[in-house]
Amino acid sequence: LEINLKHGRQGDWPEIVELYKLVAKNKGGLARGQDEISWEYVTTFLRKSEKTGLSLIATDGLTVVGEIHAYKLEPMVFSHVLSELTIAIHPDFQGKGIGRILFSAFLEEIISHRPDILRVELIARESNKKAIQFYETLGFRQEGRYEQRIDRGDGTFEADIPMAWLRK
Ligand SMILES: CC(C)(COP(=O)(O)OP(=O)(O)OC[C@H]1O[C@@H](n2cnc3c(N)ncnc32)[C@H](O)[C@@H]1OP(=O)(O)O)[C@@H](O)C(=O)NCCC(=O)NCCS
């Protein structure tokens, strides 16, 4: 499996929409359900990421198998922060090391080429242990817990865990 990484460009948008729909089908990962992944949602985060943040995609030469992005919130006091980070790996390609390759490249790009970024933040639901452990190995630290923030859809709620990576 040969993985190529590149910046997400407009020509990739349709494939990225399809990727997010596929990934959202499996509950417990992304916050959005499949019916909440629209062209509008995806192109809005890609546009913001291109303008103020970063979007990287992984392909196997043919198909887009993963995407990661984050962008700056509008208030100037947050202009050193990348927020709303989301990473999605194609279900058929999860657990093969692609998420780690993609996320490491994302942080490397920030370390080397984005001195304006001092902090990267994300939120993961508490039950997504695999993701939380993974982010810790990349240098993210848990910063607390948002109690009962996630509606599990069955009358119960779970905590959302805010995490951040800080430039050394
Ligand atoms: C979470 C996600 C991004 C990880 O990407 P991936 O390509 O599947 O993960 P990798 O194969 O690169 O593994 C990265 C690490 O995750 C952990 N991991 C992977 N699969 C795991 C599993 N089945 N069980 C436990 N931990 C696992 C390991 O710590 C692994 O570290 P390693 O490199 O030392 O083995 C991906 O699975 C995904 O898109 N999931 C659905 C959407 C989602 O949950 N997004 C994040 C929302 S916060």
Q: Whose CA is nearest to atom 10 of ligand 1?
A: 97
Listed as ranges, residues in the chain with pLDDT below 70 are none
Query: In a 3-state reduction of DSSP, which class is residue 48?
Result: helix
Q: How far is the CA of 96 from the centre of ligand 1 (A)?
A: 8
Q: 49 CA to middle of ligand 1, Å?
A: 22
Could you tell me the pTM of the whole model?
Answer: 0.97
* Ligand 1 pocket by Cβ (under 6 Å): 23, 29-30, 87-89, 94-100, 124, 128, 130-131, 133-134
Q: What is the pLDDT of residue 1?
A: 86
